[in-house]
Structure 1
Amino acid sequence: MEAFVSFVNDLVWSKPLVYGLLITGILFSLLMRFFQVRHFKEMIRLMFQGEKSPTGISSFQAIAVSLAGRVGTGNIVGVSTAIFIGGPGAVFWMWATAFLGASSAFIESTLGQIYKREIKGQYRGGPAYYIEAGIKGKVGKIYAIIFALVTILSVGLLLPGVQSNAIASSMKNAFGVNQWVIAIVLALLLILIIFGGIKSIANVATAVVPFMAIIYIGLAVVIICLNISEVPALISMIFKSAFGAEAAFGGIIGAMIEIGVKRGLYSNEAGQGTGPHAAAAAEVSHPAKQGLVQAFSVYVDTLFVCTATALMILMSGTFNTTDGTTNSDGTPHLIKDNGIYVEAADGSKDVSGTAMYAQAGIDKAFSGGDYTFSPEFSGFGSYFIAFALFFFAFTTILAYYYIAETNVSYIFPGRGQKIWINVVRIALVLATVYGTLKTADLAWMMGDLGVGLMAWLNIIAIWILHKPALKALKDFERQKKAKGSGQYAIYKPDPNEVPTATFWHEDYPKRLKEYNIEE
């Protein structure tokens, strides 16, 4: 099983996808004149704008659900793994992926809003919806169904195991909790929440995600302040390593870029096609508003949370790097030999255990200089990482469920919808339980496969359909300039260019009346 998944994974995550994601981000950024810098303040303002309705959720709830999906295991274990394999320079390529990926996040989330539908009292949207509406005809319908099926498979079966495996591993390391206990607790919590639908998931995400992210980033700031003298050297090491100028890491620049981009995408999900599902559920007067909010969520995920993890790891001094080859005894060939890697009792190497590097940074910061790292040591760092992973990873699983439900609703819009939604609920719970028990290597490979398949399908789609999103941004900027604020910007789609944006064709006259504006 592992050999087969590894083989398919290598095909999916080939160089065309890795560098294609970077090129896509660069070109979209150029086309939008680096909006991610120009509209930074507007992103923050729009995030807290309180538009909501019985049909849709607010922008803040939408970004909370989106961040629930983005901020997860990838922000701790993923960063640790990236540094483990690619060295400190991988952090730079995660930053680059986030900055450029914000443009992909804007395009896909704005498209999600443009082509959203109101179904049974709530907004539904995402790549499957905009692929069908934008490409049209049999080709568009078949493409949309393929994306929906791949997404259900990925977020419903492949990806939950990565999150639950990290929760089980960290809880066992910190508190010695049996994996079966974690599996049962996760299953019960999921059942209690996911049967409440998007409103229930949004309420949990709104309460948990901002709270946990603030605490996590806050602790990182404290650690950085306690070790402020080391920060310049660490930043220098990241940049030198990224471009092969650091002697210890100079020979692995290709692996560094690939693992940085892969882990960056796994963490922030920009261009992958998950963000548009939550974006489409938001109540806004203009699609570009939600596009800007979702672009900012990429910053929160990678530039804030992932950077916090990276600095804690690098400050610990416990990380090491492998060039991907093995020694004669099967152990990784290390580029840097003064670190550790996690070894299980049977001799297998557990890359997900690199989360220990993050906890090592926390423990070292509070040790008063008297610190020696040991995989068996459980201090404050291990407890904190265990709790952080639990909340981050659990809310990510909730977001996965909502995405799966949205795509089930797309494929089965009729009477059988409720039955299939319940099937997906059960499947996701079982996948989560299974993920707490299987090997970490297989969990990560299956997760990477799911992310890669979705990314391929969505990146092709947004290149085909990106023009309405670009025009929506220009229209928003025009209205913002004319009115002095984007608060009352109203979207009026051109019926000749986007005839299938039926929601907005009906919504425009209602908005004019609501805002008391004469056309």
Structure 2
Amino acid sequence: MFANVISWINGYLWSTPMLVLVVCAGLYFTFRLRFVQVRKIPTQLHLLFNGKSSERGMSSFQAFCLAIAGRVGTGNIAGVATAIAAGGPGALFWMWVMALIGAATSFVECTMAQLYKGEVNGEYRGGIAYYLGRGTGIQFLGYLFAVVMIVAELAMFGIQSHEIAAATENAFSVPTWVTGVVLIVFLALIIFGGAKRIASVANIVVPFMAIAYVLIALIILFANANNIPETFATIFQSAFGAGPIGGGMMGAAVLWGVRRGVYSNEAGMATATQSAAAAEVSHPAKQGLVQCFSVYIDTLFVCTATGLMLISTGAYNVIAPTGGFLVHNLDTEAGAVWTQAAVDSLVPIGAQFVAIALMFFAFTTIMNMFYNCETALTFFFHKSGKMPSGYVVSIRLIVMLFVFIGTVVSGSTIWSLGDVGCGMLIWGNVFCLLFLVPKAALLLRDFESQQKQGIDPVFNPSQYPQLGDLPLWKDAYEGYESGKLKN
């Protein structure tokens, strides 16, 4: 009965209107900002490696890694498999399209997160609750979406831990409950160290795991070089409803490409906005540009690596719209085990490697999700600037409970529950961003104007009173001016 209720809710959340909203909003942002996600790629790379941290905030790279920790997770390994199963290989093409469109959405939401960030317990905090509450002037929206963010992330915790447990059991025959216990022990060691420890771990683990995973994918693709032309032909044919696999499935390819694309890169879901707000930057648009690039890392590199491995090695099934299979190569449920089968076909310890990679991907995602939950909770205390320690401990214990539960429930149920969480965030966030994009466009013009003058852009809030009261940015600009005069 629970599974039926979740499925019914998803039917409304992920209906055609939601897909139209996400795609049309992304296209609107793209044109309104003059393809900022493409024409500013050199600037994105420059900003990524030139920021510095402070006592209150992370460096741009640390915030980027924390965001990547959230974006790169089970969606890149298990999520790609479920997209191909339901939508055919063409779903991968529509995931690419969503990455390009979603990067513009990410710029808007992450720039707003920087603009309306606050300070709680001596650290920068921000995200969807802050920019909806302060940016729109409707405080109720902030409190509402603080709750939605917490509920949604709790629902998605289980997906990460479930896939870790399933892959570990498949590779090492470890009972899922044992994996659950190990996960919560390691998670406790990190999250009880606070935001800076989470960022430090992400700063080390994320680049290493992403590079290692892409390298093993390149090895698989090189070994299957003869299949690469056919693989791309299959993807494009399937994407547009052509070929033996794609016939009559274009709608499914678009649906699942958009659905899993959004789940994977999280653009429009607001889950990267909390880490974006934590960065120490001199202009809000800077971190918006950095977060554009994180969408590309997620989808164009990691998701593509997974998809090409699955298709080139034949380690996938495609479910026919009328029932049965259009392609039936494996006897297992769609998920990380398909990727394990793909790598296992050429690498002796393929299943073990994927299990370890997934463990790192999903574990760092869990760290990011916890940070999001805790940050959303801080909005209830942003006016005083102090959150009692009892609330911090409580949210940490609740998170660990949901992580353990995820390891012992069924895959289909936990993915459906995660879809509910994603859907709730996307509906509210994207709709509100349509009203906030003029502010993002204003900040982008200010940034580019200073950039053209050959100076490092610095935001002066007094020039833009229409953006509201921004005490942190006022203090930052005054500090910059006094330091310049001193020099």
> TM exceeds 0.5?
yes
Partner of 1:151: 149
SS state of the match for residue 320, structure 2? strand
Corresponding position: 1:5 with 2:6: yes
- The TM-score, its normalising length taken from structure 2, stands at 0.96
Cα separation, 1, equivalents of 2:71 and 2:322: 31
Mapped pair 1:474 → 2:445: yes
How far apart, CA to CA, are the structure 2 residues paired with 1:412 and 1:445?
A: 32
**CA–CA separation in structure 1 for the residues paired with 2:460 and 2:247:** 52
Q: Quick one: percent identity of the two aligned structures?
A: 42
Equivalent positions of 1:8-23 (< 5 A) are 8-23=9-24
Task: Name the residue aligned to 1:300.
Answer: 297
CA distance in 2, matches of 1:203, 1:245: 47
Check if 1:403 corresponds to 2:372.
Answer: yes
Alignment-mate amino acid for residue 143 of structure 1: L
Listed as ranges, the matches of 1:107-506 within 5 Å are 107-136=108-137, 140-155=138-153, 157-326=154-323, 333-337=324-328, 339-342=329-332, 350-351=333-334, 354-366=335-347, 379-413=348-382, 417-483=388-454, 488-493=456-461, 494-506=463-475
Report matched runs for 1:22-171 at 5 Å.
Answer: 22-136=23-137, 140-155=138-153, 157-171=154-168
Distance 1:47 1:460 in 2: 29
Render the CA deviation track for 1:18-41: whole Å, top value 9, x for unaligned.
Answer: 121111111111111111211111
Aligned residues: 483
Q: Secondary structure, in 3 states, of the residue corresponding to 1:159? A: helix
Does the aligned pair in 2 maintain the 1:227–1:365 contact within 8 Å?
no
Q: Contact conserved, 1:363 with 1:380, CA < 8 A, in 2? A: yes
Give how far 1:515 is off: 4.3
Deviates more, 1:214-223 or 1:414-423: 414-423
Q: Which residue of 1 aligns with 2:479?
A: 510
Unaligned runs of 5+ in 1: 327-332, 343-349, 367-378
Task: Work out the CA distance in 1 between the residues paired with 2:471 and 2:435.
Answer: 20
Asked if 2 retains the 8 angstrom alpha-carbon contact of 1:113 and 1:279, the reply is yes
Matches of 1:105 and 1:466, distance apart in 2: 11
**For residues 430-480 of structure 1, what are the alpha-carbon distances to aligned partners after superposition, in whole Å with 9 as ceiling and x for unaligned?**
000000001111110111110110111111121111111111111111111
CA RMSD, 1 decimal: 1.6
Q: Secondary structure at the match of 2:170?
A: helix
Contact 1:359 1:381 in 2 (8 A): yes
Contact 2:224–2:313 (8 Å) recurs in 1: no
Q: Report how far residue 225 of structure 1 moved.
A: 2.0
Q: Do 1:51 and 1:283's aligned partners in 2 also have CA atoms closer than 8 Å?
A: yes
- Residue 341 of structure 1 and its aligned partner are, at CA, apart by 3.6
The one-letter amino acid of 1:364's match is S
Query: Any idea what SS the aligned residue of 1:321 has?
Result: strand
Please state how far the C-alpha of 1:191 moved relative to its aligned partner.
1.0
User: 1:356 & 1:404 partners in 2: Cα distance?
Assistant: 29
Seen in structure 2, the aligned counterparts of structure 1 residues 317 and 142 have a Cα distance that, compared at 3 Å, is: same
Measured against aligned partners, the alpha-carbon deviations of 1:125-163 in whole angstroms (never above 9, x if no partner) come to 111111111211xxx1111111110111111x2011000
Structure 2 CA distance for aligned equivalents of residues 168 and 79 of structure 1: 18
Distance 1:400 1:101 in 2: 20
- Find the aligned partners of 2:69 and 2:349 in 1 and give their Cα distance: 25
Per-residue deviation at 1:416?
A: 6.3
CA distance in 1, matches of 2:429, 2:483: 35
Q: Does the aligned pair in 1 maintain the 2:217–2:305 contact within 8 Å? A: yes
Deviates most, 15-24 or 99-108: 15-24
Report the CA distance between 1:275 and its aligned residue: 0.9
- Take 1:19 and 1:241, find their aligned partners in 2: how far apart are those partners? 21
- For 1:113 and 1:185, locate their aligned partners in 2 and report how far apart those are by CA, in whole Å: 35
Q: Which amino acid aligns with 2:412?
A: D
* 1:273 match: secondary structure: coil
When the two structures are superposed, what TM-score results if normalisation uses the length of structure 1?
A: 0.90
SS in structure 2 opposite 1:336? strand
Moved more, 282-291 or 29-38: 29-38
Distance change (3 Å), C-alpha of 1:516 and 1:489: farther
**Distance apart, 1:324 and its partner CA:** 4.5
How many Å separate the matches in 2 of 1:341 and 1:93?
26
